[in-house]
A = this chain, B = another copy of it.
Amino acid sequence: MSNRIRVAIAGYGNLGRGVESALAQSPDMRLVGVFSRRDPASVTLLDSSVPVHAMSSIEQYQDEVDVMILCGGSKTDLPEQGPYLAQFFNTVDSFDTHAKVPEYYAALDQSARDAGRVALLSVGWDPGLFSLNRLFGEAILPEGETYTFWGKGLSQGHSDAVRRVPGVQSGVQYTLPSEEAIARVRSGEQPELTTREKHKRECYVVLAEGADADVVRDSIVTMPDYFADFDTTVNFIDQDTFAKEHSSMPHGGFVIRSGKTGEQNTQTVEYSLALGSNPEFTASVLVAYARAVHRLARVSDIGAKTVFDIAPGLLSPKSPAQLRKELL
C-alpha cells in the first residue's frame, strides 16, 4: 500500500475532522499527519495512530506529503496559509470569500508556480460543485437564467444574531429556500428574484428564565439587515429539544438553470444537495479533488487551479478505460 497518496491536514476543526473521515473511505489515499496551531498533545484524532504535529514545524514535512488539505477559515487563515504552504506542498482548500477570489488566486498562483506546485482553491459545494453547475448551465443554455437557492441550512452569522437578542438562552437559525420561488423557476417563467424573495428564515429559540416570548420574537423579526426584510418565523422550544434536534449541521441548496432552445422550448437543469453534515460533505469534495491535485502534480501541470480547470475523470480512483466502460 506504499503507493497510496500521502495526504496531510492543516487545521483540525469540523472540516479537518470531516477530511479525516473522508480519507478513511478512500483506499487509495492515506492520512500521514495532522498539523495544528494548538498543542499537538491536546488534539484528539478519530484515528489515534496518525501523528499530530505543530503547525510551526510543517516545512520539515515537505517530502513526506503528496497533498496538503488546508482546513482553515477563509477570513484570516487561508489568505496567509495558502500562499505560504503552496511553497512547500501541493494544496487544496475551500476558500469561500467570493469577492476576494481573484486576489487570492493571484497570490497562490505566484507562490505555486515559483515552487513548481499545484494549488487548488475554492473547492467544496459553494464555491465548488455549485460553481460548476452555474458554468455548465450557462454554457449549455446560453439563453436563460441561473438561480442559486441555499438551504435548508444552518446559518452561523444569523444564529449569532439571534443569540445576541436579550432573553435568548439558546438559538439557531435556518435558511430555507422559498417553495413558491422554486416552483416559479421550475415552471420556466424565468422570474427576477432577489436573494430575499428566494429564501425564508426559521429560528429555534430557548427563552432565558423570565423572558417574554412576544418581545423576543419581535426583536428578532424586526432586526434590520438580518431579518426585517425576510419572511421569518420564530419557534420556542425547551433546552432538551434544542440539544437533541438542533446540534447537527445540515445544509444544502439548489442551482437551477432555466433556458429556451429552438422555437421556445423550455429546458430546465436542476442540481440539488441535501446534506446531513455540511462540513463532512465539503470535506468529501476536498478529498476527491486532492486526488486530482496529486495527478496534476505528477504531470507537472503546476500553478493555481479552480474546479473549472479540473477534468472530472481526475477525481475518480478508476482508470479512464474503466470510467468509459462503467459510467459513460
Query: A residues bordering B, Cβ < 8 Å?
Result: 17-18, 21-22, 25-26, 98, 101-102, 105, 122, 127, 129, 131-132, 134-136, 138-143, 186, 188, 248, 261-263, 265-277, 280-281, 283-285, 288, 291, 306-313, 315-317, 320-321, 323-325, 327-328
Instruction: Given the known inter-chain contacts A261-B281, A262-B21, please indicate yes or no for A315 contacting B271, CB distance below 8 A.
Output: no
Name A275's contact: one of B101, B139, B267, B313 (CB within 8 Å): B267
Interface CB pairs A-B, < 8 A, 20: A18-B261, A21-B261, A21-B263, A22-B261, A25-B142, A25-B143, A102-B321, A134-B327, A139-B317, A140-B281, A188-B276, A261-B277, A261-B281, A266-B274, A267-B275, A267-B277, A307-B328, A309-B320, A311-B311, A312-B312
Name A268's contact: one of B18, B273, B285, B307 (CB within 8 Å): B273
Who on chain B is nearest to A250 by CB? B265
Among A132, A281, A320, chain B packs the most CB atoms within 10 A around the CB of A281
List of B residues within 8 angstroms of A277 by Cβ = 261-262, 265, 267
Who on chain B is nearest to A252 by CB? B268
Contact A129 B136 (CB under 8 A): yes
Name A308's contact: one of B263, B267, B311 (CB within 8 Å): B311
Name A324's contact: one of B138, B140, B308, B325 (CB within 8 Å): B308
User: What is the CA–CA distance of A271 and B254 in the complex, to the nearest angstrom?
Assistant: 10
List of B residues within 8 angstroms of A102 by Cβ = 321, 324-325
Contact B140 A284 (CB under 8 A): yes
Instruction: Given the known inter-chain contacts A101-B324, A269-B273, A281-B267, please indicate yes or no for A312 contacting B135, CB distance below 8 A.
Output: yes
Main secondary structure of the interface of A (DSSP, over half): helix
User: What is the CA–CA distance of A268 and B284 in the complex, to the nearest angstrom?
Assistant: 13
User: What is the CA–CA distance of A101 and B324 in the complex, to the nearest angstrom?
Assistant: 7
User: What is the CA–CA distance of A140 and B121 in the complex, to the nearest angstrom?
Assistant: 17
> What would 5 more interface pairs be, CB under 8 Å, given A135-B327, A265-B277, A271-B271?
A102-B324, A140-B315, A267-B277, A310-B311, A312-B312
